[in-house]
Homo-oligomer: A and B are copies of this chain.
């Protein structure tokens, strides 16, 4: 397919790499030259900062910019390419497709659910793509780089995004809190890595509700009470401790 990527941030550059490797003809536009240079050097695909130079006959225009910039970039793109024939899609998990529908005829969303780190190569086979569209163009594009492609509408995608916030952002914050506590007793965060690793391994084989361990799921009131009081001088963390423990007990009882 002929694809135009709008943006050169983390998600944009990872997708550009994946699409180029899958044999698609990719052109990249970005506001500034700086981020384009690395993409041009690595993938030698056409890169431009001039929206006027964007091909008008692409199959897919993929806008991959920050949520804040999405609306204005879509508007600007419309000024240049008009009501084009291609599908115009964005990659933002929590933004509606309607943002594009005011400007373009064929619209969609192509949301790759992964936490992208600049410079860190990813195995695209391992990334699920969530697609919203009226045609079947984005699904085919996603299938060309990943076997895991799901169709979700905007409301469903919001729930998916929230699930990802719990599974990724909040777990990472639990690690931050743990690191904070370990610093108090001079133990390196690395000492927790085997435990963290095993916790992750377990949910590959069983449901997390089944895999739950610890004082809360055992309803071990003595330890729960002791740990709650350890956080007397950290009321914000104490609150999280209490509510997470209550929620663990609730989930367990629901399962029984």
Contacts and interface: CB of A to CB of B under 8 A. Distances in A.
A177 B166 contact: yes
A198 B200 CA distance: 10
A236 B246 contact: yes
A250 B239 CA distance: 14
A200 B191 contact: no
Interface residues of A, number: 86
Contacts of A165: 214-215, 227, 241
A94 B226 contact: yes
Contacts of A194: 113-114, 126-128
Interface stretch (A39-47, A100-108, A182-190): A182-190
Q: How many copies, total?
A: 2
**Interface of chain A: mostly helix, strand, loop or mixed:** helix
Interface string A105-148: 00000000111010000100011100000000000000000001
Interface of A: 67-68, 94, 113-115, 117, 122, 126-128, 148, 150, 152, 156, 158-182, 184-185, 187, 189, 191-200, 202-204, 207-209, 211-217, 220, 222-223, 226-227, 230-231, 236-237, 239-241, 243-244, 246-248, 250-251
